[in-house]
């Protein structure tokens, strides 16, 4: 009985870590979507400056 309790706790912890990772991924995707054009412009400016 004690082993099954610890097995459930471990599984629950893994699910919580997975949910945190999914939340972080959603936030990062949202930020990149909002700032994607600006970041692309910065890299284009850097690239054109290196080609001169």
Instruction: Work out the pLDDT band at 3, boundaries 50, 70, 90.
Output: low
**pLDDT for res 39:** 84
State yes or no: pLDDT of 1 exceeds 60. no
Distance between CA atoms of 5 and 34, rounded to whole angstroms?
Answer: 44
State yes or no: pLDDT of 43 exceeds 70. yes
Average pLDDT over residues 10-25: 86
Is this model's pTM higher than 0.75 or not?
Answer: no
Average pLDDT over residues 15-29: 93
**Higher confidence at residue 43 or residue 22?**
22
Cβ count near 22 (within 10 Å) = 10
Contacts of 32 (CB under 8 A, 6+ apart): 39
Sole residue written with tokens 């936030």: 27
C-alpha count within 13 angstroms, C-beta hemisphere, residue 40: 6
């Amino acid at each position: 009985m004690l082993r099954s309790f610890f097995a459930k706790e471990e599984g629950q912890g893994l699910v919580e870590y997975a949910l945190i990772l999914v939340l972080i991924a959603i936030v990062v995707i949202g930020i990149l979507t909002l700032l994607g054009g600006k970041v692309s412009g910065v890299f284009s400016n850097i690239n054109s400056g290196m080609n001169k």
